[in-house]
């Protein structure tokens, strides 16, 4: 009896381009999640730029940091809030507030190390 071999396919046959920052990776992930909620189905390698990951890879990195207690609930709340808005916090006076901007920076700083180790962020 013949056994079929499982050989994983690469994410893309094109050369992938890592994200320049964790902020761009997070906002890309958020945009993908919002599209999923709206019922969009993703087809691999259909974007204009080939990425070295799938949106779920970024989710898993955040989940791992939360389980390691490197991210707190406040960090997740800020990431979720500004992810739904698809923009970073407004740092100007009268904007979103310094506290939220500080949490945003802390969360992305911790996330960037994890994503850089995986080659998702340059």
**Mean pLDDT per 10-residue segment, the chain (122 residues):** 68 79 96 92 72 92 97 97 95 84 96 96 94
- Listed by start position, the domains of the chain span 71-122
pLDDT at 89: 94
pLDDT at 44: 62
Classify 60 as helix, strand or coil.
helix
The whole-angstrom separation of Cα 105 and Cα 99 is 10
The whole-angstrom separation of Cα 63 and Cα 67 is 6
pLDDT at 71: 97
What residue has token string 């904007």? Answer: 95
pLDDT at 98: 86
- Phi, psi for residue 94 in degrees, rounded to 5: 85, 5
pLDDT at 9: 59
Tally of CB atoms within 10 A around 117: 10
Residues near 16 by Cβ (< 8 Å), separated by ≥ 6?
A: 50, 51, 52
pLDDT at 7: 66
Terminal-to-terminal C-alpha distance of the chain: 46
pLDDT at 11: 55
pLDDT at 66: 98
């Amino acid at each position: 009896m013949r056994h079929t071999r499982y050989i994983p396919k690469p994410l893309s046959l094109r050369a992938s381009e890592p994200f320049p920052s964790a902020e761009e990776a997070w906002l890309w992930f958020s945009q993908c999640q919002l599209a999923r909620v709206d019922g969009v189905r993703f087809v691999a390698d259909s974007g204009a730029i080939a990425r070295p990951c799938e949106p779920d890879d970024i989710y898993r990195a955040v989940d791992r940091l939360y389980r390691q207690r490197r991210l707190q609930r406040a960090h997740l709340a800020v990431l979720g809030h500004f992810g739904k808005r698809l923009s970073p916090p407004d740092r100007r006076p009268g904007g979103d507030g310094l506290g939220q901007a500080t949490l945003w920076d802390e969360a992305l700083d911790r996330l960037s190390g994890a994503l850089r180790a995986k080659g998702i962020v340059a």
